[in-house]
Structure 1
Amino acid sequence: MSTRRTGAGRLWSTTAWRDLGPSGEEGESAPARRLRIVTYNIHKGVRGVGPGKRLEIHNQGAAMAALQADLVFLQEVRLFHQRDARRFDRSTFGWPNQGQAEFLAPDGYESIYRSNAITRDGEHGNALLSRWPTGEVGHHDVSDHRFEQRGLLHVPIYWQGLEIHAVVAHFGLIHASRLRQAERLGAYLNERVPPEAPILVAGDFNDWGERLDPVLHACGLLRAGLDSQGRAPLTFPSRLPLFSLDRVYTRGLRCTGLAVPRGPAWARLSDHLPLIMELEPT
């Protein structure tokens, strides 16, 4: 049984993060022709503010291993942060020596990270963890104004004879910015991805008002995971989910199952819950 440890010294086993995957059966791997993905905003590996701020990156690492995903789309990932590193270096299990993407990658996974924002104490961005071979990495700046630095991480994935173009996205906090970022995403895909290639875009879209779907549909992307009444899984805030900010949009793939794990263990890790989905080619 493998374990990770928190910055506060508390020990969690990976059995605390049972695989609550779309199959609904603990520990069951995805079928051979189904691609299991997770999209997760990790809140830079920490929770809380002030004296109550705590390091959760170690527990998040245990969670990543337990989910047994083929691809993990991560947002708000730190490459480094000098102030937090100094603060948590004094704790029992401190700030990782690696970037957070590398630290979170389970054994056998490749971690790919690109920075979106550079701050006084460090930098953060998007990451993809993949257990499948990857191609040439692309990074496209979609920042709409100087107060929010945003980017798209584009990674071709070679999965069972298919080249799937995976994009990690994290859109802005202003609706008008999100509309322009959606349009730039569509233009980028039109320029960089072959017309018949499957596309998988996942991340935190910050679309509180549920108004982005028509723009992305016009770009050829369909929102995955809606039920028969058009309702989406809720992922934010993690303690009492009310909004569907974390999403998956696809072309050439369809959703065959999804889950959002809940409970105190997951609520403590981040202000978002992970969205787990299984997909298969159309």
Structure 2
Amino acid sequence: MTQPALHVTTYNIHKGFSQFNRRMMVHELRDRLRSLNPDIVFLQEVQGLHLGHADDIDNWPDSPQHEFLAEDVWASSAYGRNMLYDHGHHGNAILSRFPILHTHNQNVTHLRFEKRGMLHCRIELPGGQTVHCVCVHLSLFGYSRRKQMAALADYLDHLAEPDAPLIVAGDFNDWRNRVGEDLTRRLGLREVFCGPSGIPACSFPAAMPMFRLDRIYVRGFDVISTEVHHGKPWSAISDHAALSAHLTRHGR
């Protein structure tokens, strides 16, 4: 029996600002995410706290961005703080319509000046099935990305059964498509946009995507459809395009 479709979206939200930090766009961002209406949202560059913006920007949300975005729509949310500074911090977040049973932020920093983490949530889907969801934002440097993917594989090898449903999504900064091979080989994942060409979708810059930075990898799901959300109005919100996938999990 085929279970109902699961809609997932990944989006690097650029801390709630447009490209080149010209305008604060977190309210428009919330509207666009709600218009998409995904079940699970993987977010990168989420501003958990910024004292300067809170003082200087009149309509800066009172709550952390992940809570502001999730309010009244996504019942559960989790945030993993990666970069800490005097006036605040930012990191990754996962929003979910369904209960988040467990959350853990895995520190995968490889270079001291480039703090990175991977946010893992175990989410209970309707009918009692659980899925492991990991939100990532990888290094700008290839060697560090490979180390971070190895750390992710080691972590999941000890945590989840080899055939447990798994979604890994986020900003991979992997324009040469190298880390996907590690995910496929060690964790049995496949990229949702990779058809016969085996090439992920372009997602950066949002106005006219040319680079393949953002990804959604799955295990234990079939892919019904995918979409890259780019051009206007998306390009006015962030420098990255958002990616969506509709998935099904087959019953046994």
* TM-score above 0.5: yes
1:117 paired with 2:88, answer no
1:36 paired with 2:7, answer yes
Q: Alignment partner for residue 216 of structure 1, among 183, 208, 217? A: 183
Q: Alignment partner for residue 138 of structure 1, among 91, 104, 114? A: 104
The structure-2 alpha-carbon separation of the partners of 1:250 and 1:32, relative to structure 1 and needing over 3 Å to count, comes to closer
User: Secondary structure of 1:227's match?
Assistant: coil
User: Secondary structure of 1:179's match?
Assistant: helix
In 2, Cα distance between equivalents of 1:171 and 1:131: 26
1:103 paired with 2:97, answer no
Structure 2 residue aligned with 1:194:
161
Contact 2:50 2:88 in 1 (8 A): yes
Q: Deviations over 1:92-126 (max 9, x none)?
A: xx110000000011524122112011023210011
What is the CA-CA distance between 1:225 and the residue it aligns to? 1.8
1:271 paired with 2:239, answer yes
1:249 paired with 2:217, answer yes
Q: TM-score, normalised by structure 2?
A: 0.93
In 1, Cα distance between equivalents of 2:100 and 2:161: 16
Q: Which runs of 5+ in 2 are unaligned?
A: none
What is the CA-CA distance between 1:56 and the residue it aligns to? 0.3
Larger radius of gyration: 1
Question: Where do residues 80-95 of structure 1 align in structure 2 (5 Å cutoff)?
Answer: 80-89=49-58, 94-95=59-60
Structure 2 residue aligned with 1:46:
17
Q: Alignment partner for residue 182 of structure 1, among 122, 144, 149? A: 149
Counterpart amino acid of 2:193? G
Contact 2:190 2:219 in 1 (8 A): yes
Residue identity over aligned pairs, in percent, reads 38
Counterpart amino acid of 1:98? S
Q: Deviations over 1:142-187 (max 9, x none)?
A: 0001111111111111113311001111101000000000100100
Counterpart amino acid of 1:44? K
Q: TM-score, normalised by structure 1?
A: 0.83
Contact 1:37 1:72 in 2 (8 A): yes
Range with greater deviation from structure 2 (225-234 or 194-203):
225-234
In 1, Cα distance between equivalents of 2:209 and 2:218: 24
In 1, Cα distance between equivalents of 2:52 and 2:185: 43
Range with greater deviation from structure 2 (76-85 or 198-207):
76-85
1:154 paired with 2:123, answer no
1:75 paired with 2:44, answer yes
Contact 2:19 2:237 in 1 (8 A): no
User: Secondary structure of 2:246's match?
Assistant: strand
Contact 1:65 1:106 in 2 (8 A): no
What is the CA-CA distance between 1:217 and the residue it aligns to? 1.4
What is the CA-CA distance between 1:87 and the residue it aligns to? 2.4
Contact 1:151 1:170 in 2 (8 A): yes
1:61 paired with 2:19, answer no
Q: What do you get for the CA RMSD once the two structures are aligned?
A: 1.6
Q: Deviations over 1:16-37 (max 9, x none)?
A: xxxxxxxxxxxxxxx9611100
The structure-2 alpha-carbon separation of the partners of 1:165 and 1:53, relative to structure 1 and needing over 3 Å to count, comes to same
1:228 paired with 2:225, answer no
